[in-house]
Amino acid sequence: MPYTSEHDEIPNPLRAGLRAESIPEPCAVVIFGATGDLAHRKLVPALYNLAVTGHLPAAFGIVGMAKSELAQHDFVRGMRESVGKFSRTKPIDAEIWADFANGMRYVSGSFDDPNAFARLRAALEELDKSRGTRGNRLFYFATPPSAFPTLLKQLKGAGLINPPNDSRFTRVVIEKPFGHDLASGRALNRLVLETCDERQVFRIDHYLGKETVQNLLVFRFANSIFEPIWNRRFVDHVQITACEDLGVEGRARYYEEAGILRDMIQNHVLQLLCLTSMEPPVAFDADAVREEKTKVLRAVEAFETPEQVARNVVLGQYTAGSIGGKDVPGYHEEKDVAPDSRTPTFVGLRLSVRSWRWDGVPFYLRSGKRMPKRATEIAVHFQPLPHSLFGEGATQPNELVIRVQPEEGIALRFSAKVPGERYRPRTVSMDFRYGSTFGAVAPEAYERLLLDAMRGDQTLFTRRDEVEAAWKIADSILKVTESPESPPPNPYRAGTWGPPEADQLLAQDGRAWRRL
């Protein structure tokens, strides 16, 4: 039966107020790069968990495609091993796995080879018949970005991209990095949109799939007490930290090209900044939420001169040190890192959001590898008291800390009277911990995002203009720091919180990084 958009205007009488989550339409997920780490560690375990939790349609299939010559049963066996190792639900449920594995297909071939895509098409049509996937396709690009243009061209050539208003959906999920800079990000967007409609494109940032990141929206827009103080009149500054204790862990080739600004700031950290500082959307839907996030990125003041970058940005690169009581090598000693590499592994920076709400409130962002521990958080520091009744320096300004990982939760720090002492205040913490307040195990970020992509919900995916606005900010730093005249990144010992220059960045404003 042909689908015409006029029927969209007839509201679904059964949808309003339902508490049950909707189940995606029957579909096949095609994973390009199916023999890679992402497919084995994240994507297939996430899809299996969706089957376990009853979120997948029973009419479902997976087609893996990669260069490696693999028999189908070897592909399935490899995936079973990976699911056994990386799935959050264990042990594997034999009955669910059997049904899940029955829907798996593998197509080997080069992405340059049109015949391989003819085989892919045949595999999908066979799934339509045997599993009832009904022509709905979700193409997941779990490949290096260099493969994206070829994949898009081949999909189009093989007639595998349906128009956006076809009754059989075609969606494309694209992994970061979405470009290397503003120019390449724009070029990639143009290329993608020559093949697909924006409604069919799902640019994934797995940070947005984390429960605690989504909770930021609920925390801000489902509570009335924080909104009145969430602005320049009450907030002194905001610190956003995304640190890890790991080094480059076998990803040095990618990391040498990317560095911390492309790997973390342009996407994950700026997304956290957006969710912290955006205005309330007019509705909780993909367009409204993404519109407000994009406005924030447009309001962030990009750097125009090398002097501005020097004043507001500190880069670092780790040297050998000790983490958790063990020796770890310096960045230059890592495999596949050039001996004279200037790739930054740490950044501390100060950004300004030029908006009615945030003008004059600095946002300090830091992200680094080989830090003392893994920690991602947003700390909102409120203004100090105008006058202290309990003596100079007796009280600390209030802080609201949203812990994204680990120990996900929210803490509010405020002053309380020390018992027995005569009006001596001390900072105490009111602590909400996700793990203990909600006993249910939260789904992995990829589960949430794959499910949303299958449902066609783009709220947690980035939009074209959003990606480009984020690149504009990152680019204004990169064009200075990657110029030959720029000084090399400041060294810091692995297991410390970055170079001393990062402390100076805040010290010159009379502030300090939070001790984590």
Partner 1 sequence: MEAVVSENFGEPISAGAAPRTGDSGELVLRFDSGFDLGRIERLLQETRERGGRAPESVCTLNLIAVYFNEQQYEKARAALEMAGTIHPSRLIVMIGDAPVEQESLTVRASVVRSGGAITLERLVLSATGRAVRHLESAMTNLLRPDLPRVVVFGGRPHGDLMKRAVEMADRIVIDSGARPPGYLAETASLLAKGAPIGDLAWARIFPWQALAADTLDLPNLREHRGNIRKARVVCAGAVGAEGLLLLGWLQSRIKRLEIQIQAEGEPEPEDTGTATPRAAPMGLGQVKLLELTAPPATFTLRRDKGILYADVKGDDDGYCANRVRLPADTPGRLLALELNLLYGVDELYAQAAQAAARLLPQVPR
Active-site positions read 268
Nearer to partner 1, 8 or 249 (CB): 8
What is d(CA 65, CA 14) in angstroms, rounded to the nearest whole number? 38
- The distance of closest approach from Cβ of residue 179 to partner 1 in the complex, given in angstroms and rounded to an integer, is 32
Q: Which stretch binds partner 1 (CB under 8 A): 249-257, 361-369, 434-442, 464-472?
A: 434-442
Q: Are strands 170-174 and 137-141 parallel, antiparallel or unpaired?
A: parallel
- The distance of closest approach from Cβ of residue 426 to partner 1 in the complex, given in angstroms and rounded to an integer, is 20
Q: Which stretch binds partner 1 (CB under 8 A): 122-130, 304-312, 435-443, 445-453?
A: 435-443
Nearer to partner 1, 284 or 438 (CB): 438
- Containing 313, the helix (H) or strand (E) segment is strand 313-319
65-124 residues in contact with partner 1 (CB under 8 A) are 93-95
Nearer to partner 1, 218 or 507 (CB): 218
- Containing 66, the helix (H) or strand (E) segment is strand 60-66
Nearer to partner 1, 19 or 387 (CB): 19
Instruction: Name the one residue in this structure whose structure tokens are 């009149």.
Output: 233
Asked if 13 interacts with partner 1 (CB under 8 A), we say yes
Q: Where are the alpha helices (DSSP H) in 231-334?
A: 252-260, 270-277, 286-299, 306-312
What is d(CA 287, CA 280) in angstroms, rounded to the nearest whole number? 13
**φ, ψ (nearest 5 deg) of residue 349:** -150, 160
Instruction: Pick one of 157, 435, 488, 500: the residue that binds partner 1 (CB under 8 A).
Output: 435
- The distance of closest approach from Cβ of residue 411 to partner 1 in the complex, given in angstroms and rounded to an integer, is 14
- The distance of closest approach from Cβ of residue 54 to partner 1 in the complex, given in angstroms and rounded to an integer, is 4
Instruction: Pick one of 7, 326, 335, 387: the residue that binds partner 1 (CB under 8 A).
Output: 7
Site string for partner 1, 118-157 (x = CB under 8 A): --------------x-x-----------------------
Nearest CA to 469 out of 267, 272, 255, 269 is that of 267
Residues that bind partner 1 (rule: CB under 8 A) add up to a total of 46
The residue type of 407 is: E
Q: Is 162 in contact with 170 (CB distance < 8 Å)?
A: yes
Handedness of CA 453, 292, 400, 513 (dihedral sign): positive
Instruction: Pick one of 439, 484, 487, 510: the residue that binds partner 1 (CB under 8 A).
Output: 439
What is d(CA 506, CA 414) in angstroms, rounded to the nearest whole number? 22
225-284 residues in contact with partner 1 (CB under 8 A) are none
Nearest CA to 21 out of 48, 43, 58, 53 is that of 53
- The distance of closest approach from Cβ of residue 7 to partner 1 in the complex, given in angstroms and rounded to an integer, is 4
Q: Residue 440: CB partners within 8 Å, gap ≥ 6?
A: none
Nearer to partner 1, 102 or 167 (CB): 167
Q: Residue 513: CB partners within 8 Å, gap ≥ 6?
A: 239, 241, 348, 364, 366, 497, 502, 503, 506
What is d(CA 278, CA 259) in angstroms, rounded to the nearest whole number? 27
Q: Residue 193: CB partners within 8 Å, gap ≥ 6?
A: 201, 464
432: left (phi over 0), alpha (psi -120 to 50) or beta: beta
Nearer to partner 1, 12 or 146 (CB): 12
- The distance of closest approach from Cβ of residue 91 to partner 1 in the complex, given in angstroms and rounded to an integer, is 9
Asked if 64 interacts with partner 1 (CB under 8 A), we say no
Nearest CA to 342 out of 353, 350, 332, 351 is that of 332
Q: Which two tokens stand for residue 116?
A: 């391989």
Asked if 224 interacts with partner 1 (CB under 8 A), we say no
- The distance of closest approach from Cβ of residue 472 to partner 1 in the complex, given in angstroms and rounded to an integer, is 36
- The distance of closest approach from Cβ of residue 329 to partner 1 in the complex, given in angstroms and rounded to an integer, is 34
Nearer to partner 1, 7 or 387 (CB): 7
- The distance of closest approach from Cβ of residue 51 to partner 1 in the complex, given in angstroms and rounded to an integer, is 7
Nearer to partner 1, 200 or 277 (CB): 200
34-63 residues in contact with partner 1 (CB under 8 A) are 51-54, 56-59
Instruction: Pick one of 340, 437, 484, 515: the residue that binds partner 1 (CB under 8 A).
Output: 437
Nearer to partner 1, 48 or 363 (CB): 48
Asked if 418 interacts with partner 1 (CB under 8 A), we say no
Asked if 482 interacts with partner 1 (CB under 8 A), we say no
Instruction: Pick one of 115, 167, 322, 504: the residue that binds partner 1 (CB under 8 A).
Output: 167
CA 462 from centre of chain = 10
What is d(CA 147, CA 177) in angstroms, rounded to the nearest whole number? 12
Q: Which stretch binds partner 1 (CB under 8 A): 5-13, 284-292, 363-371, 460-468?
A: 5-13
- The distance of closest approach from Cβ of residue 452 to partner 1 in the complex, given in angstroms and rounded to an integer, is 15
Site string for partner 1, 194-213 (x = CB under 8 A): --------------------
Asked if 10 interacts with partner 1 (CB under 8 A), we say yes
Asked if 406 interacts with partner 1 (CB under 8 A), we say no
Asked if 387 interacts with partner 1 (CB under 8 A), we say no
Nearer to partner 1, 4 or 224 (CB): 4
What is d(CA 297, CA 508) in angstroms, rounded to the nearest whole number? 25
- Cα-based angle 292, 15, 451 (whole degrees, multiple of 5): 60
Buried b (16+ CB within 10 A) or exposed e, 48-65: bbbbbeebbbebbbbbbb
Residues of the shown chain interacting with partner 1 in the complex, contacts defined by CB under 8 A: 1-4, 7-8, 10-23, 25-26, 51-54, 56-59, 93-95, 132, 134, 165-167, 169, 433, 435-440
